[in-house]
Structure 1
Amino acid sequence: MGKYIIKGGNKLNGEVFISGAKNAVLPILASTILNSGICILKNVPMLLDTFVAMDILRDLGCKVTYGENTVVINSKDMNKTNVKEELVKKMRSSIIFLGAIISRFKEASISYPGGCNLGKRPIDFHLEAFKKLGIKIDDNQNLIRASVNEIKENIIDLPFASVGATQNIILASIFVKGKVVIKNCAKEPEIIDMVNFLRKMGANIYGEGTNTITINGVENLKDMVEYTVMPDRIEAGTFLCMSAITNGNIKVNGIVPHYLSSLIDILEQIGCEIIKSKESIKIKNSKNLKCIDFLETKPYPYFATDLQPQIMALLSTLDGISVIKENIFEARNKHIPELNKMGCNIVEDNNIFIINGVNSLIGRNVFAKDLRGGAGLITAGLFAEGETVVDGACYINRGYEYLDKKLSILGADIKYIED
């Protein structure tokens, strides 16, 4: 599974360039099925999840090549509609392939997805929406089969602004005869990026980034598309938290600062000095950071659940009591016992986390049990006295490209060891 070994205490200083967004590239890779031609994707992060998505495309019959953060997909000869179970189990977001395959072939099958275990992450929103599009769903304990004669026009009002459900509905509706309207849809930047890609492919979609997205069906798509994936706002936010906890001074480059507004607000509230430019953010060292009374995770544009473990590690080192409420994932708490091993004082109460700040942390052997929780443990390890060993690096490597190398350039004492 691999491990990260960190010797804490070094301030982060310098500049870091952010990779392409994991949460954007995966649905875009699934979208390449739709045009029955060639797609050239640039700024693709070479992550474990990226390779799983490419393996799924290959198994479906697509030709996939890659090099230097560029991936070329030719889906012309795609000849399968069932996604192999062993690949699905590696990545929960593989469910996004269901909408793309049903859109092109009118039938698809996929087993229940795997990925990080964050509690109930139901795909019921996806399946209920598909039924409203006229898609027949045969859902047994392990396998989902979907089939349709023609996608139907409809207005779908989501009970929750689910990112995955929003994306799957869009993909399934590309060739609808008429239009599909999604209300209470997710507004995440990664959805905007997927829509921009689909629009470049020839899709007719508008309303992305608002509460309502409309898909006007088209008959066909362009058979050659080139697109550059957006930068990863969660990676950028992680580096900002890591800089703050080490009292560092870094510049995060190649990003869209607006997409990090909720995190920037929190960092400024605790006393960090933030300087924004068009494509970068500077965070300057501040010795007298203070706790924050209350913070809760919500869908974009509010504070991202994917940054909860990292900000928790930071708040754990500040004087006073901070409170975080996790509203998105019921089991996004597996990092807390590991943080407490290092000396944090965090108490859980029904997804409300009470953080009593401490002055020091001690390096320990800890285990990452999911992607962002692992990033939170590394954040704490950069601050802790002595050596911190974070096992379960395979989870972390699902979402961070060259993490050890980027941190080393900034002055951290960190190395990655593969088992």
Structure 2
Amino acid sequence: MDSYHITGGEKLAGDHRLKGAKNGVLPILAATVLTGEPCEICSCPSLSDVHTMVEILRSLGCSVTWDEDNIRVDAKTVDQWEIPERLMKGMRSSVFLMGPLLARCGQVAMTQPGGCAIGDRPIDIHLSGLRMLGAEIEEDPHRIVCRARRLTGATIRMEFPSVGATENLMMAAAAACGETHIIHPAREPEIEDLQNFLNACGAQVAGAGTGEIVICGVGDRRAAGPGSGTAPLSGCVHRVIPDRIEAGTYLAAAAITGGEIRLLDSAPSQMAQTLARLKEAGCRVKVDKTSIWLTAPRRLRSVREIKTLPYPGFPTDMQSQFLSLLTLAEGESKITETIFENRFKHVDGLLRMGADVAVDGRTAHITGVAGLHGARVQAEDLRGGAALVLAGLAAEGETVVENICHIDRGYDKLEVVLNDLGAKIERI
């Protein structure tokens, strides 16, 4: 497998223009199954997860073309309702297709989704919500089959604000008959982006980003319920919102190397918690509507406590990168992970590089050290792999990060961007 070879000690400096959010483009691509006219999705990053989603859409009968950063999907000829197992195993986000396929074809079959092993991520909330919309579901440890002659609106109270479940239910309800209320949904910006896409395609969705999402299903007026094969929505052109996790990662990369960076086409309003913690660590941060400037201090300061929480709290997808950052901060810091129980796998690599980190259950206690040294480490998941790259950028000597297929799932040509900013990193 490919690996990154990093010669540390270079300060990052320069500009970087962000692309669309990984966590935004994947559900939107899944939602194109609901349409019978071409959709053009703009600002799509070239990630392995996006390539997998494109391959899944083609396996279902969609025509898909990819021109630079734009993906054009024509789902008029969808004729399959079972997702190939090899594609399901490669990406957890393949589960997003459950709601759209059920609405379009009246049935969907898939194996349990794969993805990063960062903790227990059952899809019970997805399935219980679909049942409330009228789906009949057969489930065993390996395979799930959902069927529905007709989807009917319902009031769904979510026991946990699952992002994926919220999006899946929004897509299914958009094609149902009647009105659906999702109570206590996830509030991530990517959910608002999905709402905007669905509405541009003719759906009636309101309330994304609040405590209740209301969907007036088009099933009644289109007379095209599940199993008819008729697409309930039309096409549109849509630009995906900027990737706030990519943005946070590059800001942390500049901070850990003592550099400075300007991010273009960003969305600072969606990154309040990340920017606040960078300021607490001593970074100078300036923003306008679509840009972020960061200048690192001579030495980072410790952050008393970071606790991951659903949006608008501190994002779990930024926890690993901040842990690397704080290994070089003066003083003691604490990070508590409340979302996933196995998100400290990268700590072993940091310890090999000279970090002082003690993990107690879901809490990591970090004592800042004067410097890190290069080592051979392995990426165990997407964000943990990125965190090890950040540590390598600041470490003395050479760091080799192996198993970077995980990193490719969430960063478009990471080594190219970092080299453009002044790093010395090579993909081998």
Give the TM bin, normalised by the shorter chain.
over 0.9
Q: 2:252 aligns with which of 241, 245, 263?
A: 241
SS at match of 2:34: coil
Q: 1:311 aligns with which of 322, 330, 354?
A: 322
- Residue 373 of structure 1 pairs with residue 384 of structure 2: yes
Equivalent residues of 2:203, 2:233 under 8 A apart: no
Moved over 2 A (4+): 219-224
Equivalent residues of 2:153, 2:217 under 8 A apart: no
Per the alignment, do residues 222 and 161 of structure 1 end up closer, same or farther by CA in structure 2, a change over 3 Å counting? closer
Between the aligned partners of 2:176 and 2:115, the Cα distance in structure 1 is 31
SS at match of 1:4: strand
Specify the alignment match of 2:307 in structure 1.
Answer: 296
Specify the alignment match of 2:3 in structure 1.
Answer: 3
Work out the number of aligned pairs and report it: 417
Specify the alignment match of 2:151 in structure 1.
Answer: 151
Overall identity of the aligned pairs, in %: 41
Q: Which amino acid aligns with 2:356?
A: N
How far off is 1:222 after superposition?
A: 4.9
Equivalent residues of 2:202, 2:234 under 8 A apart: no
Instruction: Please show how residues 37-186 of structure 1 align to structure 2 within 5 Å.
Output: 37-186=37-186
- What are the superposed Cα offsets for residues 252-290 of structure 1, whole Å, 9 maximum, x if unpaired? 111110111100110111211000011110001311421
Q: Which amino acid aligns with 2:195?
A: V
- Residue 390 of structure 1 pairs with residue 390 of structure 2: no
Between the aligned partners of 2:175 and 2:59, the Cα distance in structure 1 is 24
- Residue 405 of structure 1 pairs with residue 395 of structure 2: no
Over the residues paired in the alignment, what is the CA RMSD in angstroms? 0.9
Specify the alignment match of 2:228 in structure 1.
Answer: none
Listed as ranges, the gaps of 5+ residues in structure 1 are none
SS at match of 1:24: helix
Q: 2:373 aligns with which of 333, 355, 362?
A: 362
Instruction: Please show how residues 325-340 of structure 1 align to structure 2 within 5 Å.
Output: 325-340=336-351
- Residue 231 of structure 1 pairs with residue 238 of structure 2: no
TM-score (norm 1): 0.98
SS at match of 1:14: strand
Between the aligned partners of 1:257 and 1:381, the Cα distance in structure 2 is 27
Specify the alignment match of 1:208 in structure 2.
Answer: 208
SS at match of 1:180: strand
Q: Which amino acid aligns with 1:345?
A: D
Q: Which amino acid aligns with 1:16?
A: H
SS at match of 2:78: coil
Between the aligned partners of 1:355 and 1:288, the Cα distance in structure 2 is 15
Q: Which amino acid aligns with 1:117?
A: A
Specify the alignment match of 1:28 in structure 2.
Answer: 28
Equivalent residues of 2:355, 2:372 under 8 A apart: yes
- Residue 282 of structure 1 pairs with residue 288 of structure 2: no
SS at match of 1:82: coil
TM-score (norm 2): 0.96
Per the alignment, do residues 46 and 129 of structure 1 end up closer, same or farther by CA in structure 2, a change over 3 Å counting? same
Listed as ranges, the gaps of 5+ residues in structure 2 are 223-231
Between the aligned partners of 1:408 and 1:164, the Cα distance in structure 2 is 34
Between the aligned partners of 1:295 and 1:185, the Cα distance in structure 2 is 23
Equivalent residues of 2:36, 2:235 under 8 A apart: no
SS at match of 2:388: helix
